[in-house]
Amino acid sequence: MKIIIVGAIAGGSTVASQIRRALPESQITLVGREPDIGYGTCGMPYVIGGLISDSEKLVGTTPEDFIEERNINTLVQHEVLSIDRSNKTVVIQNMETEERFTESYDKLILSPGGFSRVPEFKGLGDLPLFTLKTLSDLETILEYIEKEKPTSCAIVGGGFIGIELAENFIHLGLKTALIERNDRVMKIMDVEITDILNKEMEDNGVEFYFEDAIERIEGKKLIMKNGVNVEVDFIAASVGIIPDTKLASDAGLTIGSTKGIVVNRYMQTDDPDIYTIGDAAECTDWVTGKPKRVQLAWHAHRAAYIVSRHLAGKPIEINGFLGTTITKLFSLTAAMTGHSAKSLTEEGISFKTVTHDGRSNAGYYPDHGTLHLRVHYDSETRRILGAQGVGDKGVNKRIDILATAMMGNITVDDLSALELAYSPPYSSPKDPINMLGYKAK
């Protein structure tokens, strides 16, 4: 079987490796625009802040290793320009030489990712504007900081990447302003969670400009719509990712309501010989069954496994997505799975909420932290619809348990009966998860 994979970062390199194990005799070609493959994009903010000492640590493998050790034909700095579905061929261009050639395929896998949304600012001029999506973006930021020695910056956008950049710019000693058109950071989460995150950022020196935007720029001065002037050395924009669907759209594949490429439970597009994984794939929501597109690494890796199994004739279906995610913010950890109060309300789903404020482990043990947990559930079926947590210790464990509970259809009441590991350094006799169950009763 001859397989061509378009895109060589998380999804593409992973599915290539999975297919090599599942189909040892297959002929695999991996095509990527960048010079690197399979690197850890999620670690990039921490390289900027110095927590990760070298960007090379993010690179798990090299094109040479893929060729030599895995027998995967790896074409870096190459781009697939078009798909001819009737003849099952693609046109590939060498981005350095501009040479073009045609390759045939039996199966085609699209893992195109997406592009950073770049805002347009009136009067930007020579003021540096950065986004952070690729390893090249990271190197550009690192080179600028090393050479220019900036002292201040503005971040536009208060989502996951925005707040992680804020933390890491603060670690560098930069005066950091965060500009957000909404009234809080992390609007995907409940207000009760983001209020805690806002305070943590303020306590660490981040300046907020909520419900505001840059009206124009004069030199290094940002003229804000609310009338405040902010002077900065550079801007970092984190205002979303645009899925790269042009290749699929040009080939006549269906683009769905989330602006992703529509796939079935086996990650197949309209064309059964073409699969899509990663940021650009439109799957379904675990709770509602409606279209959902998740731009996170776990989902790309899971989809890669689903594709490899299907190609090997041992199919399993992909589940609906919960969108489980977690982030570090100074001394805090925040995480969520499933729906927030806002998204449930927008979906017209009736729900109740149970909360718990407590310690991560035994209070008499010297190393304990605090937790705030929230679970949204259906008041009739008692099914868990979503959960969130924030605290300085143990959040990851609890959100993972709650995500497992959701997938196992465990009710909110059943949480009280979960027999969870207890020892004073790790928990309490009644774990915070148990307490949520007791309180819901």
Catalytic site residues? Answer: 42
pLDDT tens digits for 62-88?
999 999 999 999 999 999 999 999 999
Tokens representing 393 are: 């210790």
Beta strands in 228-324 (DSSP E): 229-231, 234-237, 241-243, 261-262, 274-276, 281-284, 291-292
Q: Is 314 exposed, middle or buried (0-12, 13-18, 19+ CB in 10 A)?
A: exposed
- What is the spatial distance between Cα 360 and Cα 424, in angstroms, rounded to a whole number? 10
pLDDT tens digits for 346-362?
999 999 999 999 999 99
pLDDT tens digits for 362-395?
999 999 999 999 999 999 999 999 999 999 999 9
Per the CB < 8 A criterion, the answer to whether 113 and 278 are in contact is yes
- What is the spatial distance between Cα 185 and Cα 159, in angstroms, rounded to a whole number? 6
Per the CB < 8 A criterion, the answer to whether 153 and 141 are in contact is no
pLDDT tens for each residue of the chain, 441 residues long = 999 999 999 899 999 999 999 999 999 999 999 999 999 999 999 999 999 999 999 998 899 999 999 999 999 999 999 999 999 999 999 999 999 999 999 999 999 999 999 999 999 999 999 999 999 999 999 999 999 999 999 999 999 999 999 999 999 999 999 999 999 999 999 999 999 999 999 999 999 999 999 999 999 999 999 999 999 999 999 999 999 999 999 999 999 999 999 999 999 999 999 999 999 999 999 999 999 999 999 999 999 999 999 999 999 999 999 999 999 999 999 999 999 999 999 999 999 999 999 999 999 999 999 999 999 999 999 999 999 999 999 999 999 999 999 999 999 999 999 999 999 999 999 999 999 999 999
Torsion of CA 61, 62, 68, 74, to 10 degrees: 120
Q: What percent of the chain has pLDDT over 70?
A: 100
Torsion of CA 271, 272, 274, 275, to 10 degrees: 120
State pTM to two decimals.
0.95
* Buried b or exposed e, range 402-432, using 16+ CB within 10 angstroms: bbebbbeebbbeebbeeebeeeeebbbeebb
Torsion of CA 410, 415, 417, 423, to 10 degrees: 130
Tokens representing 202 are: 């303020």
Tokens representing 237 are: 């924009």
pLDDT tens digits for 182-220?
999 999 999 999 999 999 999 999 999 999 999 999 999
Domains and CATH numbers, the chain: 2-114+241-311 (3.50.50.60), 118-237 (3.50.50.60), 331-440 (3.30.390.30)
